[in-house]
Amino acid sequence: MPRRWLLPAAVFLIYGFMLAPVLIVFPISFTEQQYVVFPPTGFTFRWYKNFLDSDEFMRAMYLSLRLGVLATLIATVMGTAAAVALVRYRFPGQQALKAFFVSPIIVPGLVLGIAMLIFFGPTLLHGTFAALLIAHVIVILPYVIRVVSANLVGLDIRIDHAAQSLGATRLEVFRTVTLPLLRPGIVAGAMLAFVQSFDELIVSLFLTGPQLSTLPVKIYHYIEFNSDPTIAALSVVVVVISATVILVTERFVGLSRFL
């Protein structure tokens, strides 16, 4: 019955469709040609060297990493607190607030970008790291809240009650019982948030400048004027970092169960 293979074959092709752009940058990054050609000829690390030697790119890389770590730390603390409030308590306007906290995901990045550009424009924060940081925190917060909430909903409140009956104060219960049980969700949420920040382009595009540039923004501007395989090398670096973070998180903590 050859028709049995129809569906798996189609799925295989569709996966190829989704993964092709991510995969193609790998071989291209090693080509000897100055321009992008397929199939790539030769093998060289030249473009990686280009990237490592470039002051601009390295600064952008470090900025993205710093920004990512900082934004993630802030968003994780704020997001976890918000998640606890939304899940463990009941108060008027809860559903509305929940929707509100997750809303940055809904707002098109472009709209948020231009709004922030105008907002920060006349202020001191214009073109600063702080403005960029604020924007990133806002963009990644929903991910933390979503994942931590999913984790929290799955915890049984009676465990807390049991701890209380054994003499722990509510703060102690939170610290010694709830928080450890929340670790998978917090870690998964943080990792997801970091990757979102590291990969973020559109909002950052509005808030960066020649002095202050994240890696995705640098890549974007570079593509506008150049077409040498340095971008491929850069892309490989970005993909490897993002994929590693996500796959490691998935393996040790489990990300997809919270999505």
250, burial (CB in 10 Å: exposed 0-12, middle 13-18, buried 19+) = middle
89, burial (CB in 10 Å: exposed 0-12, middle 13-18, buried 19+) = exposed
Q: Does 250 bind another protein (CB under 8 A)?
A: yes
Q: Does 114 bind another protein (CB under 8 A)?
A: yes
Judged by CB under 8 A, the residue of 68, 184, 185, 216 near another protein is 216
- Give 169-184 as a DSSP string: -HHHHIIIIIHHHHHH
Cβ nearer to another protein, comparing 46 with 145? 145
Judged by CB under 8 A, the residue of 2, 53, 89, 96 near another protein is 89
Both tokens of residue 20?
């092709």
Judged by CB under 8 A, the residue of 104, 184, 185, 189 near another protein is 104
The CA angle 189-190-193, to the nearest 5 degrees, is: 85
Min dist CB 20 to another protein, Å, is 6
Judged by CB under 8 A, the residue of 69, 70, 73, 107 near another protein is 107
Min dist CB 49 to another protein, Å, is 19
Judged by CB under 8 A, the residue of 52, 58, 179, 247 near another protein is 247
* Contact residues for 181 (Cβ-Cβ < 8 A; gap 6+): 151, 155, 159
Q: Does 190 bind another protein (CB under 8 A)?
A: no
Judged by CB under 8 A, the residue of 43, 62, 66, 110 near another protein is 110
What's the chain's Rg over C-alpha atoms?
Answer: 22
* Contact residues for 82 (Cβ-Cβ < 8 A; gap 6+): 101, 141, 145
Binding mask 217-246 for another protein (x = CB under 8 A): --xx--x-------xx--x--xx--xx-xx
Q: Does 137 bind another protein (CB under 8 A)?
A: yes
Greatest distance between any 2 Cα atoms in the chain: 71
Identify the helix (H) or strand (E) that includes residue 104: none
Q: CA 44, CA 47: separation in Å to the nearest integer?
A: 8
Judged by CB under 8 A, the residue of 5, 32, 38, 41 near another protein is 38
Q: Does 186 bind another protein (CB under 8 A)?
A: no
Judged by CB under 8 A, the residue of 138, 150, 177, 181 near another protein is 138
Q: Does 108 bind another protein (CB under 8 A)?
A: yes
Judged by CB under 8 A, the residue of 62, 153, 211, 252 near another protein is 153
Interacting residues with another protein between 48 and 77 (CB under 8 A)? none
Which residue type, as a one-letter code, is found at position 153?
Answer: V
Residue owning tokens 């710093």: 66
Q: Does 150 bind another protein (CB under 8 A)?
A: no
